[in-house]
Amino acid sequence: MASRQWDFSFWEQARDLIEHAERIQRNLLQVAVGAHYDAPPSRLGTWVPPVNVVETEHSWWVISALPGVEADQIEVRLEGNELIIAGRRPLPECCAEGELQLWEIPLGRFERRLNLTPGVRFAVGDMRVEAGLLIMELKKIL
């Protein structure tokens, strides 16, 4: 009987140690991600949003998935032969005090660079944020 109590106690302590280790791992990840999230802006973003590009005769339509990003948090610019979409996706206010349990949705600074067709000049045309998508027209200047 004493052996059984010892087995139970041993496994209970092991479970507690595993839970403690998992908590430490989550907290380290939260600190690491938090430090990365608050990092100063750099040339490269911390995550890269996906895009679709549709070419028509007179334009390129660029559609970028940016759920949770407000229009005023998005910067779009043309630099030479590159389109740059940059900005920030903030941590929702509801979660600022909580403990990280699972981190799959990237937060913080993002940046996407697209090389445009060489020899063709573009101008940013219609641009809007709709249902979590940045929809933008790049007009070809002929």
Does the residue 10 lie in any domain? yes
pLDDT score recorded for residue 79: 94
Note the pLDDT tens digit of each residue in 103-137: 778 888 999 999 998 889 999 999 999 999 999 99
pLDDT (tens, 9 = 90+) of the chain, 142 residues, equals 555 666 667 777 887 788 767 666 655 554 455 554 444 444 445 789 999 999 999 999 999 999 999 999 999 999 988 999 999 998 888 877 877 777 778 888 999 999 998 889 999 999 999 999 999 999 999 7
Task: Say if residue 64 is in the same domain as residue 132.
Answer: yes
**Are 68 and 121 members of one domain?**
yes
15, 71: one domain? no
Residue span of the structural domain in which 80 resides: 51-141
Burial 3-31 (b: 16+ CB within 10 A, else e): eeeeeeeeeeeeeeeeeeeeeeeeeeebe
Give residue 2's pLDDT.
Answer: 58
- Kindly state whether residue 58 falls inside one of the protein's structural domains: yes
Q: Are residues 73 and 115 in the same domain?
A: yes
- Please indicate, yes or no, if residue 44 is contained in any of the structural domains: no
Q: How far apart are CA 68 and CA 23, in angstroms?
A: 28
Residue 84 lies in a domain: yes
Q: Is residue 46 part of a domain?
A: no
Has residue 89 been placed in a domain?
yes
| 67 and 107 assigned to the same domain | yes
One domain, residues 81 and 18: no
Residue 131 in tokens? 């249902």
User: Could you give the CA distance from residue 76 to residue 126 in angstroms, rounded to a whole number?
Assistant: 12
